[in-house]
Amino acid sequence: MTSSVSPVPEPNAPVSPVSVTVDAVEHSVDFVRPRLRARAARRVALYAGVQINGAPHVGTNVMQTAAFLLAAAARDRLGVAAELRFGALDNAPHDTRVCPRTGTRYTRSYHHALGPARTEELVKRFYGGLFDALTALTGVPYTVETYTRQQHSPAFREEFLASLGRWEELRWTLAPSSGHVPISFPCPQCGWLQKAGEHTELLEAGERGARFAAVCLDHGRYETDVRPDGEAWLGLTTLHRNLVKERLADRDEAMPVIVKGADWAPGCRLLDEAFLCFPGAHPPARVFTPVVLSASGAKLSKSLMREGRAELSPGTPPWMLYATRWEGTAQRYAVTLHRLVSLMLSDPRHFERGYTTSELARMWTESETGRPA
C-alpha cells in the first residue's frame, strides 16, 4: 500500500469536497483514456455545442474554455492529436406563434429567420474573438459547423433513417414517460414548423427514405421526403438530435469525445441507453464540465434570463449573465477564463462540482489580478 500526498492548493483555489473519483482519476481528461485504449485511436475530436440564441453567459464560456483545455490535455497527457468541433445550433427558435384555436405552438428557427450569412455573423460576434484567443493560448484548432449544414449531409440523414428503423424501442428510451418524440419539418413556403410536431405523421419509411405529412398554420397540410441526398430540413428534439449527431461522429476516424455541462448528465443517461438499441454500438466518451449557479442554485440559463428569473448572487457583475457587457478586450477575457478553468482542472474535485456566481466572481478577480479578492 502506498500513501499519496495531496498537492499544496493554490492561493485562490476553491474549497471543494472529496470527489467520488478520488484515487481513480488524477485529471478529468483521464475519463477519455479507457475508450482511447479500447479503440487504439491516435486522434480525438472533442464536440461541444454553441447556442446562438442570444449573448452567452459566463457558464457557457466556462464550458467552452474547458473544451479547449481538455483538448490540450488530451494532446499533452494522452499523446494524441486533438481538435475541437463546435456545433452552432441555428435550429433554436427565433420566433414563436400560437394557434388561437388549438393552442399549438409554431416556431421559426434562426436559420429560417436570418439565413446562413446572418447566422454566421452571430456566431462570429458571440464566439469568434474568444475562440481565436483560446486557440492562440492552447494551440488547439477548432471548427464551427451549423446544425443546418450538418443535418444536410447524407451521413446525418442515414443515421436519422436508421433511428426510424428502431423507433418503437428508441422512442421509449428517448422519452420514457410518454414515448412521444416529436419530429418536425418546416413548411416549404414559410419555414414555420410545429414545435411539438402534434400533426406530423410518418407515412412510410425504409432504409433509403421516409415520407412525412405535417400541417402549417398558414398553408395547411404538406408532405416532406427525407432521403440521404434530399433537401429536407429536420427538426428533432434535443435528445434525438444528439443521438443522431453522436452516432454520426462515431463514423469519423478521430475518436469522438462529447463535452457538455454537468447539467447534461441526466440526459446523457438516456442517450447512453438509446445507443444500446443499436446492436454493437457503444456510447461515446464523455466529459462533464462545471456548471455556474445563480443565487437560487439553478444554473445560469438563457430561458430564465429571457423570463427575467435568472437572479445573480449579490455583488456579481452583470456581464456574467451577458458576456457582451464585458468592458475589456476579448484577449483579456480569454486569458482570465484560461486561468480560471485551468484552476478548476488542477484537481478533479474542483472540476466535478458547480460554482455560484459569487464564488466565480471571487475566483475571477483573483485569476485576473493574481491577488486574493
For position 5, what pLDDT does the model report?
42
> Residue range 138-148: average pLDDT?
97
pLDDT at 246 over 80: yes
> Residue range 67-95: average pLDDT?
97
φ and ψ at residue 81, rounded to 5 degrees: -70, 140
pLDDT at 190 over 80: yes
Label residues 70-109 b or e (16+ Cβ within 10 Å = b). Answer: bbbbbbeebebebbbbbbbbbbbebeeeeeeeeebbbbbb
Q: What percent of the chain has pLDDT over 90?
A: 76
**What sign has the CA pseudo-torsion 27, 29, 35, 40?**
negative
Domain regions of the chain by residue span: 28-93+111-153+238-367
For position 318, what pLDDT does the model report?
83
Give helix then strand counts, H and E, for the chain. 13, 15
What is the per-residue pLDDT across 105-132, written as a single tens digit (0 to 9) for each? 999 999 999 999 999 999 999 999 999 9
Residue length, the chain?
Answer: 373
pLDDT at 368 over 60: yes
For position 3, what pLDDT does the model report?
40
pLDDT at 228 over 90: yes
Burial of 151 (0-12, 13-18, 19+ CB in 10 A): buried
Q: Is residue 181 helix, strand or coil?
A: coil
Using pLDDT thresholds of 50, 70 and 90, give the confidence band for residue 48. very high
Q: Are 336 and 367 in contact (CB under 8 A)?
A: yes
Count of CB atoms situated within 10 Å of the CB of 258? 21
> Residue range 194-218: average pLDDT?
94
| Class (C level, CATH) for 28-93+111-153+238-367 | alpha beta
Cα 126 to Cα 38: distance, rounded to the nearest angstrom: 37
Cα 13 to Cα 202: distance, rounded to the nearest angstrom: 54
pLDDT at 4 over 90: no
Q: Is residue 222 helix, strand or coil?
A: strand
pLDDT at 278 over 70: yes
Dihedral Cα 337, 33, 24, 65, nearest 10 deg? 10
For position 97, what pLDDT does the model report?
96
For position 231, what pLDDT does the model report?
92
What is the per-residue pLDDT across 289-348, written as a single tens digit (0 to 9) for each? 999 998 778 888 766 666 666 666 777 788 888 888 888 889 999 999 999 999 999 999
Task: List the beta bridge partners of residue 202.
Answer: 212
> Residue range 162-182: average pLDDT?
96
For position 146, what pLDDT does the model report?
97
Q: Is residue 81 helix, strand or coil?
A: strand
For position 225, what pLDDT does the model report?
97
Cα 142 to Cα 67: distance, rounded to the nearest angstrom: 10
Query: How many angstroms separate the Cα of 111 from the Cα of each of 88, 224, 283?
Result: 11, 18, 29
Q: Average pLDDT over the chain, rounded to whole?
A: 91
Q: Which residue has the higher pLDDT, 7 or 208?
A: 208
Q: Is residue 96 helix, strand or coil?
A: strand
**H/E element, 242:** helix 238-249
